[in-house]
Amino acid sequence: MQKQYTIGVDLGGTTITAGLVDENLKIIEKVTCDTNLPRPSEEVEQSIAGLCRQVAEKGGVSFDQIRWVGIGTPGSVNGPEGIVEFNANFGYNNWPLAANMQALLGCRVYIENDANAAAYGEYIAGAAKGAKYAVAITLGTGIGCGVIIEGKIFSGYNHAGAELGHMVIVNDGRPCMCGRKGCWEKYASARALTEDTREAMRQHPDNMMWGLVGGDLSKVNAKTAYDGMRAGDPLATEVVKHFTDAVGCGLTNVVNIFQPEIVCIGGGISKEGETLLAPVREYIDREEYARDSNKRVTLKTAQLRNDAGVVGAASLGDQAGY
């Protein structure tokens, strides 16, 4: 029998990536292009179609061996109907992405929110493999989240669910672009850690972290405070503790709500590994409601990193209910 493949597309605000994925959920080939926003949705569709054909060709696979194409896109995505209902970054509303791509490619097309697709990737082939109840968190500019319940992506009644980054952890706290104050991502994203590190440095012009960035605040990133902590600096240690407590506070809420078997954390900062995870685990162990249960959540780093979105999107057709 002819081998079968799927294609997963990670549609981002800056780049579009398409990956050719085999039956073992391994990425065989990957191609990327710029998203080039702002431009009309028809042009973005043409770019996606071009990448899909290109990646199949690069992998030596004819398009009739492609079982389906899955696309992870930002926004509120009505997966079953194939419509991106709202996407602020792209400026398209009620975008019938699945039907349009199906017409261009001549194969089945599934779509999903990008964070949900990445979580599905970790569930189907990564850190949360086989865990029917799992949560994938990405600490980046904001906090990206995907929730898997009974092996399926949870997205709520209106497909805007699982926005855990906009759960308030400090009442009347820092203002967020969502309109609320004190959202989790204002304290526990990589960007929040970077900004808090800068602020601590501004207040302490003699601090050793200035030396780590050559005196240039624009070179501060989420790793700076961790590097300072490793060098034994008390201020850096305090910044990291503040950040870790914020991650732990939000995650404990998440665990209390979903009681997942696995929570995995991705994003560049997850490279800190146990340095990041151990204190967060301690926080959860101390405060989680079901801490005496013999079934406890396992906290780990995400495995597929940047490939989670592609693998998850490529696997969307496997999701029951589609």
Provide, rounded to whole angstroms, the least separation between the CB of residue 201 and Zn ion. 26
Q: Of 189 and 224, which CB lies nearer to Zn ion in the complex structure?
A: 189
Q: Would you say 176 or 217 has its CB closer to Zn ion?
A: 176
What is the 8-class DSSP label of residue 158?
Answer: T
Which lies closer to Zn ion via its Cβ, residue 156 or residue 211? 156
Using CB under 5 A, pick the residue from 56, 183, 246, 299 that binds Zn ion: 183
Residue in this structure with the two tokens 């850190």, named with its chain if needed: 127
Cis peptide before 38 (omega within 30 of 0): yes
- For Zn ion, give the closer residue by CB, 156 or 234: 156
Residue with Cβ nearer Zn ion (135 or 167): 167
Applying CB under 5 A, the site for Zn ion has a residue count of 5
Read off the tokens for 217: 């605040």
Smallest gap, in angstroms, from Cβ of residue 270 to Zn ion?
A: 22
Among positions 230-249, residues that touch Zn ion (CB under 5 A) are none
Q: Look up residue 21 and give its two tokens.
A: 């994925």
Closer residue to Zn ion in complex, CB, 33/176: 176
Question: Which of 155/301 has CB closer to Zn ion?
Answer: 155
* All residues at 6 or more sequence positions from 231 whose CB lies less than 8 Å from its CB, including other chains: 208, 212
Binding string, 92-111, against Zn ion, x = CB under 5 A?
Answer: --------------------
Which two tokens mark 320?
């029951």
**Strand, coil or helix: what is 31?**
strand
Q: At which residue do the structure tokens 């079953």 appear?
A: 80
Q: Assess contact for 117 and 309: CB atoms under 8 A.
A: yes
With respect to Zn ion, which residue has the nearer C-beta, 114 or 307?
114
Query: Least distance in Å: CB of 178 to Zn ion?
Result: 3
Angle between helices 234-258 and 190-203 (to 10 degrees): 150
Question: According to CB under 5 A, which one of 37, 88, 103, 178 is a site residue for Zn ion?
Answer: 178
Does an H or E element contain 144, and which?
Answer: strand 143-149
Q: Are 299 and 260 in contact (CB under 8 A)?
A: no
Closest CA to 309 of 114, 139, 136: 114
Applying the rule CB under 5 A, the residues between 62 and 81 that interact with Zn ion are none
Q: Which residue has the tokens 């929040």?
A: 192
Q: How far apart are CA 170 and CA 234, in angstroms?
A: 24
CB of 23 to Zn ion, least distance (A): 40
Query: CA–CA separation, 82 vs 97, rounded Å?
Result: 6
Binding pattern to Zn ion, positions 158-177, x when CB under 5 A? --------x---------x-
Tokens in use for 246? 């914020």
Nearer to Zn ion, 178 or 290 (CB): 178
* Nearest distance from C-beta of residue 70 to Zn ion, angstroms: 28
The residue type at 183: C
290 counts as binding Zn ion under rule CB under 5 A? no
Closest approach, Cβ 90 to Zn ion, in A, equals 20
Contact stretch for Zn ion (CB under 5 A) within 13-21, 72-80, 179-187, 220-228: 179-187
Q: Which stretch binds Zn ion (CB under 5 A): 10-18, 183-191, 247-255, 259-267?
A: 183-191
Q: For residue 162, is it left (φ>0), alpha (ψ between -120 and 50) or beta? A: left
Chain residues binding Zn ion by CB under 5 A are 166, 176, 178, 180, 183
